[in-house]
Chain A
Amino acid sequence: RKEVEQDPGPFNVPEGATVAFNCTYSNSASQSFFWYRQDCRKEPKLLMSVYSSGNEDGRFTAQLNRASQYISLLIRDSKLSDSATYLCVVNRGVSNYKLTFGKGTLLTVNP
């Protein structure tokens, strides 16, 4: 079983749609959790950290369920500029900050 598994995608949605990404992780010792965004042929960029209480940043909402080892990302009112690959990421260490990435889910927002 892969350490971080995501919806395979791709997702194609119209502008204004709400889209949800799901992710599970296998290592219960994982310390911290993130969603990264990666545009085509570019480096990954941090979208948001994910906290147990859930957190929101504008149109983006992230949730973490440690008991189920499940992470989600919700994008509301999607824009054309949201088109990218979304990577679910977990960190196992504190002093040894090793990020484990999921395979990513490609989102295309259509006009």
Chain B
Amino acid sequence: ETGVTQSPTHLIKTRGQQVTLRCSSQSGHNTVSWYQQALGQGPQFIFQYYREEENGRGNFPPRFSGLQFPNYSSELNVNALELDDSALYLCASSLLDGFNYGYTFGSGTRLTVV
């Protein structure tokens, strides 16, 4: 059973650029959630995808968007990057079947915006 894999592991971007982060969910999982963890803070919920549709969103602006593909993998896109977007971006997959059986987190993508 493979776990959650994220790519890339590290990324440096310039303010104003766009970035795409990728996540492959754990085998058997159908839901992907994305979290942002700034330095010294707990992870903050960005959004969740279930059956290729957004299934809940946190307090993040529209320039944060996502996709889920038929194989349940997912992308997080951030447009017009700001310095405050520098953070660890975590993807978590889970099985949702009337009940959620708990998350498995990937090891994250560390994004630095300069």
B42 touches A102 (CB 8 A): yes
A interface list, Cβ under 8 A from B: 4, 41-46, 87, 91, 93-104
Give CA–CA (A91, B25) in the complex, Å.
Answer: 20
B contact set with A: CB distance below 8 Å? 31, 33, 35, 40-45, 48, 55-56, 58, 90, 94, 96, 98-100, 102-103, 105-108, 110
Is A98 a contact of B106 with CB atoms below 8 Å? no
Contact, CB under 8 Å: A43 / B108: yes
Kindly identify which residue among B48, B105, B108 contacts A96, using a CB–CB cutoff of 8 Å.
B48
A residues near B44, Cβ cutoff 8 Å: 101
User: Are A103 and B105 also in contact (CB < 8 A) when A93-B56, A97-B96 are?
Assistant: no
List, in ascending order, chain A residues with CB within 8 A of B56's CB.
93, 96, 98
Partner of A43, one of B41, B94, B107: B107
Q: Provide the bound-state CA to CA distance between A49 and B107, in Å.
A: 21
A95/B45 in contact, CB under 8 A: no
* B100–A97 CB distance below 8 A: yes
Q: Which B-chain residue is minimally distant from A46 (CB atoms)?
A: B102
- The answer for the CA separation of A94 and B90 in the assembled complex, in Å, is 21
In whole angstroms, how far apart are the Cα atoms of A5 and B90 in the complex?
Answer: 21
